[in-house]
Chains A and B, each alone.
Chain A
């Protein structure tokens, strides 16, 4: 038996030793760690970092769709200068992006807390109601926005039908009803409304998760101290969900600021380019207007704002840890 073992033992032993040393290597955090990070690092490097750098380079050129790279000229900051100094739509886009993000964020925040408090009380039909409330956020945005396109239709808007009926019922005569997507201000408001509709569930469910981490003892203590409902809300509930609020706000601001789908479906940036956000304007310039270089510059204008928000978040997290 020992003979047999020796006969093929050597090779097997050698393999076993090699096998062992590979295993031992894998036990080292410095080896295993990098190995496990490899797939993610690959994706981030080749499909995020590299395209980002490529986009910065494109924004310094006059690249157009279908133009060979040998003909593309490096024009430095010309695209950026042109946008800032000669492009009226660009400044309107900047304004719209901030208004859209600011208004939508504040309203979603308020509605989200309110809804979360309501849902937190809920006992009967809890699962059903939560699922229903979440729907706007989970259903593909483009598809639900199509429903709003029909709700805001210039001729067949259900809102206008209801307004008309209400007017004639009150005896106030005929009214056509507003053109929801036809007037620049109203169109921006409509687009913002849809964003609020889609985003509120995300706030509510996140805040609900936050509410559930607040100890009931705090409420009892506050009640014993004679705090009213509002006081408990201000002094227990709001501070209790503050950590989640920061995360939710940062995430939501980024998503709202870089939004594309709602505006694309409802107005395509119209009427007369008055409702563009950075993303839709970049698409318009690059994909419809075929000017890739300027389009890349438009979307890169989002970067400083996003970077600021991310840095704020990182500082906040760091401070919380210490």
Chain B
């Protein structure tokens, strides 16, 4: 589809195309702007109903003043702009939560990718008895939401022993729980992807004397790297976003993940630490957003694969 069609006036393009797109972007991006602005406002600005809330005045003035005087004053900048960021990073367990989140997300993604690859290959390529039943089972599991399982699953995981303690309240509880939605997801996405790789390549390798497993590892997997990347990316974000299991299975502050930590530790009863909350929301979103912006094209392709699969 062409960007500007013949006979289309500028006014029509503006109304049909540019304006709607502008409003969509406003709609999607405003909350992020709001997080950012609130995170760099001083506390008295945040709680003043009279001044314009859209602009962080103190911070802007500090930056403007320093630019005009051509003098950099780091501590003034810290006090007036990044006060809440510093509080978040220094006085809360945010970095600890971030570490937990990354640990859980990476390990459960690796586990799920392994299980997903093996079963997806079997579903896409091998004709064994019950293959269709397995496919159906994985598809149904993929659609079972965590909210249906969290009560009994916390019981089941609570019964699993870990070094004479139980698994609850450790990152391992989540590493065990997350594959329940990640494995079916990876398997489903990768089955679709494997089907797009021509069979002939493996068959040629097998005629040349490779075993099936060799053909799978040396021929199919290298070709499936884009699919593996999008599955890994999806799985990583799904685990970084997960909230309910992390809320129910972990009680110690130090073992929480970013979403649960931010919600439960920066809101104390009726007291909301808005500056820190917004800094936490912003900084917690950055890793995921960065990964995506680098891979957005992959992402659309992966989505197409997942939908066709």
Interface residues of A (CB under 8 A from B): 23, 26-27, 29-30, 32-34, 36-41, 43-44, 46-48, 50-52, 54-55, 58, 111, 114-115, 118, 120-124, 127, 129-136, 138-144, 146-148, 150-151, 155-156, 158, 161, 197, 200-201, 205-206, 208-210, 212-213, 216, 219, 243-244, 247-248, 250-251, 254-255, 258-261, 264-265, 278-279, 282-283, 286-287, 292, 295-296, 299-300, 302-303, 306, 309-310, 313-314
Beta-carbon contact of A55 and B149 below 8 Å: yes
The A interface, classified by DSSP as helix, strand, loop or mixed, is helix
B29-83 residues with Cβ-Cβ distance < 8 A to A are: 29, 31-32, 34-35, 38, 46-47, 49, 53-54
Known: A26-B213, A52-B149, A306-B144. A142 touches B262 (CB 8 A): yes
| Cα–Cα, bound, A278→B151 (Å) | 13
Is A33's CB under 8 angstroms from B122's CB? Answer: yes
Cβ of A134 and Cβ of B119 under 8 Å apart?
Answer: no
Q: Pick the contact of B148 from A30, A200, A258 — CB < 8 Å?
A: A258
Q: 9 new A-B pairs (CB below 8 Å) besides A140-B240, A148-B31, A151-B34?
A: A55-B149, A135-B289, A140-B288, A144-B35, A156-B47, A248-B307, A250-B143, A279-B145, A299-B151
Given A44-B183, A129-B25, A209-B304, A37 and B119 contact (CB-CB distance below 8 Å): yes
B interface, over-half SS: helix
Q: Determine if B204 is an interface residue (Cβ-Cβ < 8 Å).
A: no
Q: Is B297 an interface residue (CB 8 A)?
A: yes
CB of A221 to closest CB in B, whole Å:
15
Residues of B participating in the A interface, judged by any CB pair closer than 8 Å: 1-3, 17, 20-21, 24-25, 27-29, 31-32, 34-35, 38, 46-47, 49, 53-54, 114-116, 118-119, 121-122, 126-129, 131, 134, 136-141, 143-153, 155-156, 176-177, 179-180, 183-184, 187, 211-213, 237, 240-241, 243-244, 248, 258-260, 262-263, 274, 277-278, 280-282, 284-285, 288-289, 292-293, 296-297, 299-300, 303-304, 307
Let me know if B285 and A144 touch, CB within 8 A. yes
Contact at A142–B243, with CB atoms within 8 Å? yes
B178 to chain A, nearest CB (A): 10
Determine if A135 and B32 form an interchain contact, defined as CB atoms under 8 angstroms apart: yes
- Asked if residues A43 and B180 are in contact (CB atoms below 8 Å), the reply is yes
Question: From A255, which residue of chain B is reached at the shortest CB distance?
Answer: B145
Is B151 in contact with A55, judged by CB distance below 8 angstroms?
Answer: yes
Given contacts A123-B3, A146-B262, contact A36 B121 (CB under 8 A): yes
Q: Is the CB of A118 within 8 A of B54?
A: no
Given A48-B141, A144-B281, A287-B248: A138 in contact with B115 (beta carbons within 8 A): no
Partner of B128, one of A29, A46, A156: A29
Minimum Cβ distance to chain A for residue B95 (Å): 16
In whole angstroms, how far apart are the Cα atoms of A244 and B289 in the complex? 25
Check A302/B147 contact, CB under 8 A, given A143-B285, A158-B54, A209-B307.
Answer: yes
Contacts of B128 in A (CB 8 A): 29-30, 32-34
Q: Once bound together, how far apart are the Cα atoms of A206 and B301, in whole Å?
A: 10
Of the residues B53, B136, B139, B296, contact of A161 by C-beta under 8 Å: B53
The minimal Cβ–Cβ distance linking B17 to chain A, given in whole angstroms, is 6
B277 CB, nearest partner CB in chain A, Å:
5
Does B25 lie within 8 Å of A151, measured CB to CB? no
- Tell me the smallest distance from the CB of B305 to a CB of chain A, in Å: 9
A236 to B81, CA, bound (A): 52
